[in-house]
Structure 1
Amino acid sequence: MLSSVMGERGRAVRVAFLVAGLAGVSSLLGACQSDQDIDITAYAQSVEPADVLYNQGLANLQAGQLTEASRKFEAIDKQHPYSEFARKAMVMNAFANYRQGQYTEAINTASRYLSLYPNDEDAAYAQYIVGLSYYRQIPEVTRDQRTSQRAIAAFTEVIERYPDSEYVEDSQAKLRYARDQLAGKEMQVGRYYLERKEYVAAANRFRQVVETYPNTRQIEEALARLVETYYAMGLESEAQTAAAVLGHNYPDSQWYADSYKLLKTKGLEPRENKGSWISRAGARLVGA
Structure 2
Amino acid sequence: MRIGLVVIMMLFLGSCAIFGPPTELDDTKGLSAERIYEKASERMASNDYKKSVEYLKKLESRYPNSKYGAQAKLDMAYAYYKQEDAAQCVSTVERFIKIYPNHPNLDYAYYLKGVAYFKQRGIIDKATFQDVSDRDPKVLRQSFLAFKDLLTLYPNTRYGQDATERMIYLKNKLADHELHVARHYMKVKAYIAALNRAKFVIESYPDTSFVEEALVIMISAYDNLGMDDLKEDNLRILKQNYPNSPMFTKGKDTKKQDWWRFWDKD
TM-fit CA distance, 1:157: 1.1
Residue 201 (structure 1) aligned to one of 193, 216, 225: 193
SS in 1 for 2:81: helix
Whether the 8 Å contact between 1:47 and 1:79 is mirrored in structure 2 is: no
Q: Which runs of 5+ in 2 are unaligned?
A: 1-24, 125-131, 258-266
- Per the alignment, residue 55 of structure 1 pairs with 38
Residue 173 (structure 1) aligned to one of 156, 165, 170: 165
- Per the alignment, residue 67 of structure 1 pairs with 50
CA RMSD of aligned residues (A): 2.5
Whole-Å Cα distance in 2 between the matches of residues 130 and 256 of structure 1?
44
SS in 2 for 1:51: helix
Counterpart residue type for residue 175 of structure 1: M
Q: Structure 2 vs 1, CA of residues 44 and 179 (structure 1 numbering), >3 Å: closer, same or farther?
A: closer
Counterpart residue type for residue 239 of structure 1: K
Is the deviation greater in 186-195 or in 229-238? Answer: 229-238
- Per the alignment, residue 263 of structure 1 pairs with 254
Residue 114 (structure 2) aligned to one of 128, 131, 139: 131
Q: Structure 2 vs 1, CA of residues 214 and 44 (structure 1 numbering), >3 Å: closer, same or farther?
A: closer
| Structure in which a larger fraction of residues adopt strand | 1
Residue 86 (structure 2) aligned to one of 100, 103, 126: 103
Whether the 8 Å contact between 2:84 and 2:120 is mirrored in structure 1 is: no
- TM-score between both structures, scaled by the size of structure 2: 0.75
- Per the alignment, residue 72 of structure 2 pairs with 89
**Identity fraction in percent:** 26
Whole-Å Cα distance in 1 between the matches of residues 222 and 69 of structure 2?
60
- TM-score between both structures, scaled by the size of structure 1: 0.70
SS in 2 for 1:263: coil
Q: Are residues 1:188 and 2:180 paired?
A: yes
Encode CA deviations 1:182-204: one digit per residue, 9 max, x unaligned.
32222122112211222222212
Q: Structure 2 vs 1, CA of residues 147 and 45 (structure 1 numbering), >3 Å: closer, same or farther?
A: closer
Is the deviation greater in 73-82 or in 138-147? Answer: 138-147
Size of the aligned set, in residue pairs, is 224
Whether the 8 Å contact between 1:224 and 1:256 is mirrored in structure 2 is: no
Residue 233 (structure 1) aligned to one of 225, 238, 242: 225
Q: Which runs of 5+ in 1 are unaligned?
A: 1-41, 267-288
Q: Are residues 1:154 and 2:167 paired?
A: no
Residue 115 (structure 1) aligned to one of 98, 102, 112: 98
Q: Structure 2 vs 1, CA of residues 257 and 44 (structure 1 numbering), >3 Å: closer, same or farther?
A: closer
TM-fit CA distance, 1:115: 0.5
Residue 243 (structure 1) aligned to one of 235, 238, 241: 235
Whether the 8 Å contact between 2:110 and 2:146 is mirrored in structure 1 is: yes
